[in-house]
Structure 1
Amino acid sequence: MRNHYTNTATALYINYFLLGMVNIILASNMSHLTEQWDTDQAGISFIISAIGIGKLLTYALSGVLSDKLGRKPLVIFSALAMGIFLVGTPLSPSYQLAFVFALIAGMGNSAMDASSYPGLSEIFPKSAGSANVLVKAFMSAGAALLPLMILFFSNHNLYFGYAFFVPAAIFLLNFIFLFAVSFPDHRNNKKSKGDNDSVTEKFKSEPSFKKEGLALIVIGFTSTGLFTVSPIWMPSFGQEVVGMTLDRSITLLSYYSIGGLISVIVLSVLLKKFLSPVTVMLIYPIITFISILIILTIKIPIVTSITAFFIGLSTAGIFQLAITVMTELFWKKKGTVTGILATASGLASIVMPLITGLMAKSGNISIIFIFDGLLAVIGFIAACFVYYRYNKITNNKKDEEQPLLRLAD
């Protein structure tokens, strides 16, 4: 039977496809923006951190408004905010005004997350996990397309701002389209009383927030840090360390994003049949660390492109998996623990660009990727602890009905 909210879901996925572009658009145009605002690479990284600040400051409010006003008003606002950011940024005559537009983008991002994730869960109640997985797929697809768009405009000697205006135009069209679609009534969501009993049977002993909970928060921070740092500095690394041209260095982001897209597709299959989320959280940081080690030691363009793909593959979806495990272990307070993880993620999206921006002032971009490798090691250690604790406190019985990436309402 056809879902009556298919058009609504399509509009939400379009937003996330465009958000994938927004996430890397400043880093992808770093050379143009530094010249326009008379700043340096560190200055652009601070602008990127402003998006994280806007998101962190409004995340809690967005969640409350999403529950009180419904999903639709916030989704509409998010599309408008992102459009304003994309139009305003390349036209900003000053660094200070660009910072304001970045804050607006962060507000739009938090509104989008707070309304779209629960909205998709309500549109597809029987396959909420799979519906949310597609969010990452659309974001990765958008991030993979943007560098190709930038390359096209560059090869035809066109204004770099067109790369901002194209997604802005699509956001505007989607903004108008969203007024015409309907959302499920979010107030009708009720839990089955039998859910609590089935969940408690999974545990041998009560999960401890001071143990595995804190370890998962660390993973939420490091996973976002890895996902944030690499796309910001990869083009600069390609240019300054590997000796790639500007155009070729930007294509590294496409390889990175394609890796993330493939990761999401593969996880959607393997997690249902072969792997558990805690196992993936253990394996992926190892792949990330090895890839960073290779990118630092073998400075050849083709090798850099391949390792960019594997870095993208091994950093995609870890944050969502952390939410999956956190809400499984602390199921009585899903909203609270999800908010805590989101806060850790928001802090990482602010702190990491600031720290790496200061590192860039030394003139050695390689230091940033050494720092990235350290984040991978910390994430791996935390994942080892979570893996140990998870197997100790659960019955280790394969749960056929567990959704792939369960995000709290």
Structure 2
Amino acid sequence: MKIVYLPTAAGLYLNYLVHGMGVILMSLNMQALEQQWQTDAAGVSIVISSLGIGRLSILFFSGILSDRFGRRPFVLTGMVCYVIFFFGILCTNNIVMAYAFGFLAGMANSFLDAGTYPSLMEAFPDTPSTANILIKAFVSAGQFLLPMIISLLVWANLWFGWSFIIAAGIMLLNGLFLLRCTFPAHPGRPRSCTPSPTEDKAPHCSFVDLASYTLYGYVSMATFYLISQWLAQYGQHIAGMPYTSAIKLLSIYTCGSLLCVMITAPLVRKTVRPTTLLMLYTFISFIALVTVCLYPTATVVTIFAFVIGFSSAGGVVQIGLTLMAARFTHAKGKATGIYYSAGSIATFTIPLITAHLSERSIADIMWFDTAIAALGFLLALFLGYRSYAEEKRRPMLTL
């Protein structure tokens, strides 16, 4: 770890606090945006899906380009795009323009991911899992703070747009800060194809592993993204909770994810294999979602909002990325692009599916998430098996 990169890391993490707000800003302001855009909940959900399309459109290429041209330009470009999104949503009065600004926010997320994850892995090469998991802590912090901010705005009878302006203000100030920070060196042009002795011992990414990690990127993202968008609606309309109590479910959910990050970060650094945590957390997430679907009461939803946040949003996405990136020694940006491209497909397709399911019942949305969590658990078991087989094979190759 290099001290010079600590301010840079702080600025990068702060971006993801704002990103955590940005992911749920439209869903928590759904009623106000329905009136502003003259549409319904399904229309707002379709606009939310634009974030996934925008993210998918450039994530793979931005990851490759960040390996060549550096991380800083992509981080700063993402911040500018996010600021435009925050102000643009407030200025539009139809879903067509809103969709365009949502698309831009998805691109912003791609730029941030392409620059941030590789930067942190390069700045802290001895603890890359911990560095990446901490991103989730700041995403969760943003999702924890935003419902409180919106509750205060509702209590004070203030304009909902202040929540967007606060997020934009933090991003602007942080951009000025990051302009003065030092970023770690990046690989630049592709290196010689001849591997070093260290690289030769590193696990290689077969097609089966590549496909498995990519699919896990989709499933893990879909599981927690769906919850973050619909948990408040589920609490209000299925569990019968008041609106102000329902939106606080997201704060409880993010408390669970924050606690998980605090527990997971030291574990992956010292004692527990990351694949073991993947299997454990995805199993807990599946059981928790089944419980919420079978017993949709205010008490059960409140308790298990914390459990679901702990298990599905506490860093499993970042652990999966770190495991995959370990197989792309000099192309971490490319690995990030592939992994999160799968995740962005989830953020595009899931809102479209839930827009249809919401016309039937919000309860069906939660059952749908339960099925996705079950698939995630099966994938985690497979990745754990592959990792164990790789570890057994490697000592035999060195004999």
TM-superposed CA distance for 1:21, in Å, is 0.7
Per the alignment, residue 361 of structure 1 pairs with 359
- Deviation string 1:40-62 (CA, Å, 9 cap, x unpaired) is 22222211110111111011332
Residues 64, 334 of structure 2: 8 Å contact kept: no
Per the alignment, residue 128 of structure 2 pairs with 128
- Deviation string 1:207-233 (CA, Å, 9 cap, x unpaired) is 7423x4433332221111101111111
Give me the whole-angstrom Cα distance separating, in 2, the residues matched to 1:277 and 1:366. 33
% same residue: 37
Matched, 1:300 2:297: yes
Residues 277, 324 of structure 1: 8 Å contact kept: no
Aligned residues: 391
TM-superposed CA distance for 1:91, in Å, is 2.7
Per the alignment, residue 235 of structure 2 pairs with 238
Structure 1: unaligned runs, 5 residues or longer: 201-205, 399-409
Inter-CA distance 172–273: structure 2 relative to 1 (3 Å threshold)? closer
TM-superposed CA distance for 1:391, in Å, is 2.0
TM-superposed CA distance for 1:326, in Å, is 2.8
Per the alignment, residue 404 of structure 1 pairs with none
Provide the TM-score with structure 2 as the length reference: 0.90
Per the alignment, residue 223 of structure 1 pairs with 220
Per the alignment, residue 162 of structure 1 pairs with 162
Give me the whole-angstrom Cα distance separating, in 2, the residues matched to 1:356 and 1:14. 30
Residues 226, 315 of structure 1: 8 Å contact kept: yes
Per the alignment, residue 283 of structure 1 pairs with 280
- Deviation string 1:281-339 (CA, Å, 9 cap, x unpaired) is 22222211221122122232232111111111111222222223334456687655543
Give me the whole-angstrom Cα distance separating, in 1, the residues matched to 2:298 and 2:213. 35
Per the alignment, residue 203 of structure 1 pairs with none
Q: Where in structure 2 are the equivalents of 1:109-120 lying within 5 Å? A: 109-120=109-120
249-258 vs 86-95, greater mean Cα deviation: 86-95
Give me the whole-angstrom Cα distance separating, in 1, the residues matched to 2:332 and 2:240. 47
Structure 2: unaligned runs, 5 residues or longer: none
Q: Which amino acid aligns with 1:119?
A: S
Q: Where in structure 2 are the equivalents of 1:54-133 lying within 5 Å? A: 54-133=54-133
Give me the whole-angstrom Cα distance separating, in 1, the residues matched to 2:147 and 2:377. 30
Q: Which contiguous aligned blocks of 4+ residues in structure 1 show a shift greater than 6 angstroms?
A: 188-192
Inter-CA distance 285–151: structure 2 relative to 1 (3 Å threshold)? same
Per the alignment, residue 141 of structure 2 pairs with 141
Give me the whole-angstrom Cα distance separating, in 2, the residues matched to 1:366 and 1:43. 19
Inter-CA distance 186–144: structure 2 relative to 1 (3 Å threshold)? same
Per the alignment, residue 28 of structure 1 pairs with 28
Q: Which amino acid aligns with 2:181?
A: V
Give me the whole-angstrom Cα distance separating, in 2, the residues matched to 1:340 and 1:393. 22
Give me the whole-angstrom Cα distance separating, in 1, the residues matched to 2:185 and 2:278. 35
Give me the whole-angstrom Cα distance separating, in 2, the residues matched to 1:303 and 1:319. 25
TM-superposed CA distance for 1:165, in Å, is 0.7
Q: Which amino acid aligns with 2:121?
A: S
Per the alignment, residue 394 of structure 1 pairs with 391
Give me the whole-angstrom Cα distance separating, in 2, the residues matched to 1:12 and 1:207. 28
CA RMSD across the alignment: 2.5
TM-superposed CA distance for 1:393, in Å, is 3.2
TM-superposed CA distance for 1:342, in Å, is 2.1
Matched, 1:194 2:197: yes
Inter-CA distance 70–354: structure 2 relative to 1 (3 Å threshold)? same
9-18 vs 115-124, greater mean Cα deviation: 115-124
- Deviation string 1:364-402 (CA, Å, 9 cap, x unpaired) is 10000000010011111222222223323322999xxxx
- Deviation string 1:255-287 (CA, Å, 9 cap, x unpaired) is 111111111111112223442222222222221
Residues 21, 142 of structure 1: 8 Å contact kept: yes
SS in 2 for 1:171: helix
Q: Which amino acid aligns with 2:356?
A: L
Provide the TM-score with structure 1 as the length reference: 0.88
Give me the whole-angstrom Cα distance separating, in 2, the residues matched to 1:179 and 1:338. 23
